[in-house]
Structure 1
Amino acid sequence: MDSRNFKNTDTITGPRSEDVLPHTAAAAVKVVVVGGFGVGKTTMVGSVSEIRPLTTEETMTQAGIGVDDNYGSESKTATTVAMDFGRISISEELVLYLFGTPGQERFWFLWNGLFEGALGAVVLIDTRRLAVSFDVIGRLEERGVPFVVAVNSFPDAPDHPVETLRKALDLEPAVPILSCDARRRESSRDVLMTLMRYLHSLAVARA
């Protein structure tokens, strides 16, 4: 990957395109957006995708009571049961395919298939429920999938210093941690650009 593509976010501009892969695209990269239930994965994929996002949301039912941890998401009425899918062009040549994973633990058996072939991942977290992120990060580490951590903004969520979060999540010093608002395209885009820069730095280090 050419590092010139990742110096800033100005290359990702313009309105959302039609559902057609740009004719200039020379490379496509698979990225997964993971996290616990209700952390904003569907929102992030939808906000940043330049095509109409594919979602597999179903209405939540009484069957999930006592099974799904919906703390902080009590008003949530639908949930992803398979995956979310979107696409964004980083440059004229490079396209990211985004796959959002289901957050409810009873659907985590689907993650292995979604991780297959992924170059990197975004771990979206809610500081009100940090504990759910431990298993998420552990699964990525087991699979050897590089990732960045994005702290989604919620009005009543505690604000912790980056190094406090790094220690709590037991992350290596090199793993990027940044704040974001998954509802905003620019913010979600910046998270993906951070992931691309991180992946490039890992590739350079290996070389």
Structure 2
Amino acid sequence: MPGFNGSNPPILSGDERTAKVLIAGHFGAGKTTFVHGLSQIAPVSTEEVMTSAGEGIDHSDLPQKTTTTVAMDFGRLHLADDLVLYLFGAPGQPRFFNILKDLAYGALGAIVLTDTRRLHETYPILELVEQLHMPYAVAVNAFDGAPVHSEPRLRQVMDLAEATPLVTCDAREPTSSRNALIVLIRHLLTPESAR
């Protein structure tokens, strides 16, 4: 795959197919890391420092997290020689759900990232993506020290349809994140009647 190893990103030649993919998930799920790790261009980011004005709104139980996405992250990835993905990372806090809805416009599908330490925060995101009638795959981001659950248990607690792809990835590892995107793309290419 050209450019994936961090070398100069390939220039668009005009004969590629392009697709918009939404990267959704709760606050702190790893969306910014996912998009930035995959992008072959300098990613666009709207990370802002969390301040005391956000106390009671932003999480205080994630001391290592000092910034939050307030609009979007954007990146571009040549997934194959003839397929370019435009990655739109949506903010994960409920107060920004209107932005998530706007970013979903025109997207072929979504990756919903989750952290098993806060699975309950994934439920509103899943509900929103389903309300948007958007096909999606769930990617469990493998945070260090996070609880590990079996696939049947994860499907049960997230109430996932059997046809909904469920994968584990590490958003810090581009190859792992890329593999999660490939699972989503394969899901999108599967006829609905065969899902």
TM-score of Structure 1 vs Structure 2, range by shorter chain: over 0.9
1:196 paired with 2:185, answer yes
> What letter corresponds to residue 8 of structure 2 in structure 1?
S
Identify the structure with the greater strand proportion: 2
TM-score where L is the length of structure 1: 0.88
Of all paired residues, the percent bearing the same amino acid is 45
1:1-207 equivalence runs, <5 A? 13-18=4-9, 21-23=11-13, 25-71=15-61, 73-202=62-191, 205=194
Shift of 1:25: 3.9
Q: Aligned-pair distance for 1:202?
A: 3.2
* Unaligned ranges ≥5, structure 2: none
Q: When the two structures are aligned, how many residues end up with a matched partner?
A: 195
| Range that drifts further, 188-197 or 62-71 | 62-71
**CA distance in 2 between partners of 1:12 and 1:196 (Å):** 19
Please tell me the root mean square deviation across aligned C-alpha atoms, in Å: 1.9
What secondary structure does 2:190 align onto?
helix
Moved over 6 A (4+): none
Distance 1:14 1:127, change over 3 A: closer
Deviation at 1:115, TM superposition (A): 0.5
Matches of 1:205 and 1:70, distance apart in 2: 44
Return 5+ residue gaps in structure 1 as ranges: 1-9
Q: TM-score, normalised by structure 2?
A: 0.93
Deviation at 1:70, TM superposition (A): 4.5
For residues 192 and 2 of structure 2, the distance between their equivalents in structure 1, rounded to whole angstroms, comes to 21
